[in-house]
Structure 1
Amino acid sequence: MDLEFKRGSLYTRKNIGEICFPGKGRPAGGPWDTGYVSVENNLIIFMNIGIPGKTGHDFDNNFDEETNTITWYGKPNTHSKQPTFQKLLNGEITPYFFARWNQKP
């Protein structure tokens, strides 16, 4: 499944769900409300930069505008040997990053 997102555009989780599941929308709760979720061969990543998330975790996520580099930390107790991260590192899934810098944008 190829997803159509425009870099630099604003999206809500609801908008993202409609793109991922046209006519149906995103499932309620679960990973759609925190962290990241797999949708077929894509990884939808919701990251906060400089602010804590809903769970209170405040990771050192960053976006470097000069190099267009994202530094992203997964959920607590996740690591690079887990299947999702192995697929990400091996290029088997495509990441889509959605960042917010404000608690309630």
Structure 2
Amino acid sequence: MLFVKSESGSNILHDLMARVPATAQVAERSWIGAVSARLAAADYLISRSNAGRLLAIAQSKGLLGWETAKKSGDCWISANLVLDYRRWQAVKFSVISDVFADI
């Protein structure tokens, strides 16, 4: 919910998830490459402070983290975030499927 409650947060979330390996088994930590507030701000035309705040809150909740303390460079995403995202997408696509089945 953290990312989808903010402007452009869902774009950042989708970008992060697109980097996770598409496997049935989800590792406790999935390494996804370079992530930073500066890059997110540039990609999604939001302020660097807003992007940094989103990433910092996610880190404080244990949803993602970095290899270094500088909050830049190689980043990992927790299995909980990946699985919650996949459930959210499954529910969404199930509802869409039901709607189209009734047409």
Q: Which structure has greater helix proportion?
A: 2
Q: Which structure has greater strand proportion?
A: 1
TM-score by length of 2: 0.28
TM-score by length of 1: 0.28
